[in-house]
Structure 1
């Protein structure tokens, strides 16, 4: 008996350990281990969020700010327009074209095309200042334009203070990784800004200065499907990168904020982004709502005898025809139902009677809902009542026939009597 108990106990322990291992394996999502404290990956064609980590946290974006500056330049100037370099631009901190590449005299001009290259590839802080003053009339007005554009793009956690992202003595120049994914989508939709970000290098110059070669600070561009992006760093922001990949016809925006700046190698943020990109292209959707399962019920009223009564009620289960599948993230999915108040006598299993809406962040997806019963179910549920009614109707018909026949016989008898 004691041996039997030991065997059973050992079996239970083994089963428990095995079950725990399987459960752990089933729950292992293989998500990337990122240094960055905020990150997101979004399919730019479908707007589906594939990965989310603190995506609404307000963060310092550093030079990723220049994506907004570039977008406003593209929307307000032509590539051959000339921009005048103001003396105040010389006071902007490195990296600046006039301080670190070639001296610039206030009053010199740059084509908007050269300014765009310096802004997005070299990340020139002075050129960002020049663009702001030329496009906005003043830097202050340009910052207003930046914030108005942010509202237009639904960047609700964003507030810009500078056109270049410098944040010394500034605590409210903030955005979020989710908001930056919205900005990236807008930048990629603009031919001028998107084509500029794809360049590994460019030759630039002021109208009176010598030509200089600049390289893209995004080390990943052109590698593993990376088609462009913008780097950033300040002591407040940490190392940042907002970038876009294209593989197998799919474009995915990847944003990592507040990663490590490991000088002199400067590899950590790029490793974070590569990990997240690889994970995102391999991620699979999972069913949130499964097909052929009851998702909701709707109580419909109907007349037992159409147009006459009495009134009855029937509970109608509804389902979807295909799985509603989504990427598994930390974001909550809000599910809501809209079922029509249709006539129960019009129920058809192949005809939609409403929709279910799944909302993840700002993305809404609708699925058609179908009843699991048809009008024939109403007949089956009330078959005995209908049989009784049929019997009564049949009896009434027989009675009426007999009465008619009896009436005819009486008339015939009367006719014979009066002949």
Structure 2
């Protein structure tokens, strides 16, 4: 590449704060505790990660069945990698069938499709289904929990430690509202998940002699416009918890509340937080998920260049009535990349700036993995370059 970096400037409206400290600016502006009964809460705009409200958002607390967000995330990522199919059969072990609490009453040896297991986890919060899925994906529950904690670390979830895939009480099992928002946002990148989390009711074993009616534990999917997930949680220690998402007019929100006294209060405070955001903010879509932002040359790559794409929808968030000329967007790519390059490698960022100060960034990735070229291909390219330089 001829330049060390490339900048593409656009004047676009954007009001976003990407860190907890900046998010508290809105809390200070409001001067009102919008979730007075919650021990901890956070409200974010999903595309940008902007924090619109927070309260004790990094406090370590028991997440109860919200834990299953990570279980579903690992399942969806396995599907995306081609390691798992919705039609695959999952066999229930004695251990999985022994889970107490909320369950879909799996029997030892019973087989159910991945899709039906996801329904059982997302809609009915089945502890047995979560463990059956965990064992199917990793061999043992313990091995799956290790993957959960590894993924949490990769996502920057600094106040989370998992002991099981379903959220049953354990002294060393905890998370925070902020970390839950992070993994919820990651799960929502797999848009197909809302087919399950947004369903109010469904059936398992529908054509058998033992049908099981599923009713979503998240009643907001029926009673609040735009809600299509994500996950409830309750234990006597955790109290009533919820990570919820709603979408209206291209804006998707995620609200997390932990430690609420009852379901009525929990749902009312989540609804109030959604009302606040939908009434005061708006978004402007910039890139769709997978849009090509630019290209990069790949040194010694089997492909000489690769498209650079966004892994998620990129939107600009503003207060309603905000002047759009106050914000700049800069696309900055890595000066050069050398094969092999993985599809998961971060090779650039979209920076959002106001008055020259960064307020948000979005990672950019190669559209595909680029393997290293063979020696013969590298020699041919070198020869062609030498010939061109002498012409």
- Under TM normalisation by the shorter chain, which class is it? 0.5 to 0.7
Q: CA deviation at 1:29?
A: 4.3
Question: Match of 2:182?
Answer: 182
Aligned pair partner of 1:73 in 72, 75, 79: 75
- 3-state secondary structure, aligned to 2:74: helix
Moved over 4 A (4+): 26-31, 206-209, 321-325
Question: Match of 1:270?
Answer: 267
CA contact (8 A) 1:245 1:251 kept: yes
Q: CA deviation at 1:209?
A: 5.9
Q: Which has the higher contact order (CA 8 A, sep 6+)?
A: 2
Matches within 5 A, 1:24-63: 29-63=31-65
Q: CA deviation at 1:53?
A: 0.7
Question: Match of 1:153?
Answer: 155
- 3-state secondary structure, aligned to 1:55: coil
- 3-state secondary structure, aligned to 2:95: helix
- 3-state secondary structure, aligned to 1:267: helix
Question: Match of 2:216?
Answer: 216
- 3-state secondary structure, aligned to 2:137: helix
Structure 1 distance, partners of 2:227, 2:33, is 20
CA contact (8 A) 1:108 1:206 kept: no
Q: CA deviation at 1:40?
A: 0.6
Q: CA deviation at 1:119?
A: 0.5
Q: CA deviation at 1:122?
A: 0.3
Q: CA deviation at 1:245?
A: 0.9
Question: Match of 1:115?
Answer: 117
Structure 1 distance, partners of 2:139, 2:35, is 45
CA contact (8 A) 2:135 2:144 kept: yes
Question: Match of 2:173?
Answer: 173
Q: CA deviation at 1:364?
A: 5.1
Tell whether 2:94 aligns with 1:87: yes
CA contact (8 A) 2:327 2:355 kept: no
CA contact (8 A) 1:122 1:216 kept: yes
CA contact (8 A) 2:197 2:228 kept: yes
* CA offsets 1:35-60 (integer angstroms, 9 cap, x no match): 11111111112221100111111111
Question: Match of 2:235?
Answer: 234
Structure 2 distance, partners of 1:191, 1:210, is 31
Structure 2 distance, partners of 1:143, 1:209, is 34
Structure 2 distance, partners of 1:207, 1:126, is 21
Question: Match of 2:380?
Answer: none
Structure 1 distance, partners of 2:152, 2:207, is 32
Question: Match of 2:280?
Answer: 283
Compared with structure 1, are the counterparts of its residues 33 and 228 closer, same or farther at alpha carbon in structure 2 (3 Å cutoff)? closer
CA contact (8 A) 2:206 2:212 kept: no
Q: CA deviation at 1:127?
A: 1.0
CA contact (8 A) 1:357 1:364 kept: no
Compared with structure 1, are the counterparts of its residues 132 and 259 closer, same or farther at alpha carbon in structure 2 (3 Å cutoff)? same
Gapped runs of 5+ residues in structure 1?
A: 1-25, 99-103, 286-320, 326-353, 366-419
Q: CA deviation at 1:105?
A: 3.1
Tell whether 2:151 aligns with 1:144: no
Q: CA deviation at 1:28?
A: 5.8
- 3-state secondary structure, aligned to 1:221: helix
* CA offsets 1:244-290 (integer angstroms, 9 cap, x no match): 011222101111111112xxxx31111111111112223369xxxxx
CA contact (8 A) 1:66 1:163 kept: yes
Structure 2 distance, partners of 1:268, 1:355, is 41
Let me know the Cα RMSD of the aligned residues: 2.6
Structure 2 distance, partners of 1:149, 1:213, is 32
Q: How many residues align?
A: 263
Task: Give the TM-score of the pair, scaled to structure 1.
Answer: 0.59
CA contact (8 A) 1:110 1:207 kept: no
Structure 1 distance, partners of 2:185, 2:30, is 31
Structure 2 distance, partners of 1:231, 1:144, is 23
- 3-state secondary structure, aligned to 1:107: coil
Q: CA deviation at 1:191?
A: 3.0
Q: CA deviation at 1:172?
A: 1.5
Structure 2 distance, partners of 1:111, 1:207, is 14
CA contact (8 A) 1:187 1:194 kept: no
Query: Which protein is bigger by CA-based radius of gyration?
Result: 1
Structure 1 distance, partners of 2:35, 2:210, is 45
- 3-state secondary structure, aligned to 2:120: helix
